[in-house]
Structure 1
Amino acid sequence: MARSRQGMLDCIMCLTVEGGPCGEIPAPFLPRGWSSTSGVLPLEVPRQTIKGNYTSTQEQRSAMAPAMDIETPNVAENFNDHRDGLALEATSDAIDDVNVMKAAMKVKNGTATQEEVDIYDQSQFDAEKDKTQFRQYEDACDRVKNFYREQHEKQTVAYNLKARNDFKTKTRAEMTIWQAMEKLNTLIDESDPDTSLSQIEHLLQAAEAIRRDCKPKWFQLTGLVHDLGKLLFFYDSRGQWDVVGDTFPVGCRFDESIIYPGTFENNPDSKDPIYSEKHGIYSPGCGMDNIMLSWGHDEYLYHICKEQSTLPDEALAMIRYHSFYPWHSAGGYRWMMNDKDEKMLAAVKAFNPYDLYSKSDEMPDPAKLKEYYMELINTYFPPREGETERVIRW
């Protein structure tokens, strides 16, 4: 069966859990190995197509397209404790090093905008920190190039549809926010010379840096939870490549603003007649809410927080887009933006330095800080009846 642009859009956009008005899904539109009559469909999206070009608001969260509206199952399942969390964190640190050095080099070379200078070079908490203590840019690039080669080959539309379907239909563990933070302590990277801190201490560092700068409490809490999506590595990821790394849209041409753009040559979407077009399945001004970003810890946590917290849109944007460097740092994909996205971009840029530059060997004390942050957690993840802390479905 030959694919047409409109046929592909209609089938992807009209799907519902029940099968939608399309009935069976034509095989060319399915991820490899899926059954067209299984009744297990990729995701739940609104009836209108992305080409409809509408502006999403907070009240329209449930009408998002590939960002989608996910209902998580209320069934607990243990995480896989045998995965190499230290290796994941080593890769994640190397990715951060590259992004730190790229930003610093732009400032040093005079190619940064004044806004970037203000954000990356003049952050209050970073004023006394010597960025040259981080490993050199070239060494970090060598560490991450093979990672990005694998990520760029495997992050396809088909995989992203399947990942979202798995997120929607499979069981996950249940635990509180603080328990999730403690779980991430298994990701301590003892071989990392940049910091000897555990994940919970890094999260507290980011939150405390934001707090010292007198940012709103929701902003502080966002710093605390922003990397909890790395729990995905212990649950349902295929490897490191669908957990960490810079994110980017799928379903349209891979932009030159993405790190190592040449490594997409083995991604089948780069040769697809629709996905390889500049706009692909999208239209200019469709809005970032309606874009399917490459699956990873940001997207995973975004959907959890969107459904189970009262965090504002700015916080959700910080969580979802903080690894979307092609957009918030390199200036790519501006054609996708609507009016809301201008505000969200400013929020992400305000958050980014706290993620990158708050690493240090200054040891925060979780026991002393827990009471303060538990108040914030209970404010934005309000406990349900009978709970003292909100139990989150991961």
Structure 2
Amino acid sequence: MAPAAVEKMPNIETTSDNIDAVNILKALRAPKQSAFYGASEFDEAKDDEAKDDEAKDDEAKDDEAKDDEAKDDEAKDDEAKDNTLQTVAFNLKARNEFHSKTRARMGVWEAMEKLHGRVLPGHPGPQMAHLLQTSEVTRKDGKPRWMLLVGLIHAFDKLLFFYDAQGQWEVVGNTFPVGCAFDDRIIFGTKSFEKNKDANHPLYSTKFNIYSCGCSLDNVMLSWGHDEYYYHIVEDQSTIPAEGPANPLPPSTPGTVRVPTMSS
């Protein structure tokens, strides 16, 4: 019997190559699918949301910077007016008006309520919260009780805004001596006083003028404003209670509210 023909078996490597080729063709023809770890629609939406939030934050920061710049400009304008209008004549008139009439009568809490919500340049935020926080920080710091009271009432000088103030420049800003030559250490320097009528006055522009060397601050007339206004209230009109017979309210208390913004 003749031997049967033996079928030739294909090479295993060739078979493997053919299978790979078929798989590649199938992959090319199949619709594209997102990878398991690829970006999902949810991720893309979150990325877009994050970009929007970032853009809003940048816009808010720009607006805040512009707002701060506007407030700085406003404060500078007030200081410039203050340095121009604070003359001896204005100060004598302001003090005469202060002592010649009663504007209002109120307790401490009533005064705080009147100031509540009032925001002034250089004094951001509600005044009531500021006063309470100042007094509480003073208490935690172990200061004497009279100083707690000063911390609570120190911003009452802003009440001037409601009573006869000629403008915001009179309520905020720094204080300085009047009736003598203006010192270059005052905010914005002596150049800011060029339009002040007393700057070239034959008497008021001298070093000591109406004062004498070493006369003490009690005898110096400081520019009329919020600090000086409340200094006169504390010194002349208030009945601040003493801590006790053996520990009365220090005589320096009025001065404490007089000089926080003084420059000379």
Verify same fold: TM over 0.5: yes
Q: Assess if the C-alpha contact under 8 Å between 1:250 and 1:292 holds in 2.
A: yes
- CA displacement at 1:141 relative to structure 2: 5.1
The residue aligned with 1:118 is none
Q: Does 1:185 align with 2:101?
A: no
Q: What letter matches 1:202 in structure 2?
A: H
The residue aligned with 1:318 is 256
Per-residue CA deviation, residues 40-87 of structure 1 (Å, 9 max, x unaligned), is xxxxxxxxxxxxxxxxxxxxxxxxxxxxxxxxxxxxxxxxxxxxxxxx
Task: Choose the corresponding residue for 1:249, options 166, 174, 177.
Answer: 177
Q: What letter matches 1:207 in structure 2?
A: S
Q: Map 1:153-302 onto structure 2 (within 5 A).
A: 153-188=84-119, 197-261=125-189, 262-302=191-231
Q: Assess if the C-alpha contact under 8 Å between 1:229 and 1:298 holds in 2.
A: yes
Measured on the aligned residues, the alpha-carbon RMSD in Å equals 2.4
Q: Does 1:145 align with 2:145?
A: no
- CA displacement at 1:170 relative to structure 2: 2.4
Partner SS state of residue 116, structure 2: helix
- CA displacement at 1:187 relative to structure 2: 0.4
The residue aligned with 1:303 is 232
Per-residue CA deviation, residues 296-331 of structure 1 (Å, 9 max, x unaligned), is 11111111111223442222111011111x2xxxxx
Q: What letter matches 1:250 in structure 2?
A: V
The residue aligned with 1:29 is none
- CA displacement at 1:185 relative to structure 2: 0.7
Q: What letter matches 2:111 in structure 1?
A: A
Q: What letter matches 1:149 in structure 2?
A: A
CA distance in 1, matches of 2:185, 2:102: 36
Q: Assess if the C-alpha contact under 8 Å between 1:302 and 1:320 holds in 2.
A: yes
CA distance in 2, matches of 1:156, 1:303: 19
Q: What letter matches 1:269 in structure 2?
A: D
Q: Map 1:39-58 onto structure 2 (within 5 A).
A: none
Per-residue CA deviation, residues 91-133 of structure 1 (Å, 9 max, x unaligned), is xxxxxxxxxxxxxxxxxxxxxxxxxxxxxxxxxxxxxxxxxxx
Q: Map 1:28-177 onto structure 2 (within 5 A).
A: 139=69, 142-177=73-108
Partner SS state of residue 236, structure 1: coil
CA distance in 1, matches of 2:92, 2:142: 40
Q: Assess if the C-alpha contact under 8 Å between 1:229 and 1:300 holds in 2.
A: yes
- CA displacement at 1:205 relative to structure 2: 1.0
Larger Rg: 2
CA distance in 1, matches of 2:80, 2:72: 12
CA distance in 2, matches of 1:188, 1:280: 38
Per-residue CA deviation, residues 28-50 of structure 1 (Å, 9 max, x unaligned), is xxxxxxxxxxxxxxxxxxxxxxx
Task: Between the two structures, name the one with larger relative contact order (CA 8 Å, sep ≥ 6).
Answer: 1
- CA displacement at 1:166 relative to structure 2: 0.4
Q: What letter matches 2:214 in structure 1?
A: G
Deviates more, 1:304-313 or 1:151-160: 304-313
Q: Assess if the C-alpha contact under 8 Å between 1:145 and 1:260 holds in 2.
A: no
Q: Please, which runs of 5 or more residues in structure 2 have no aligned partner?
A: 1-63, 241-248
Partner SS state of residue 228, structure 1: helix
CA distance in 2, matches of 1:309, 1:226: 15
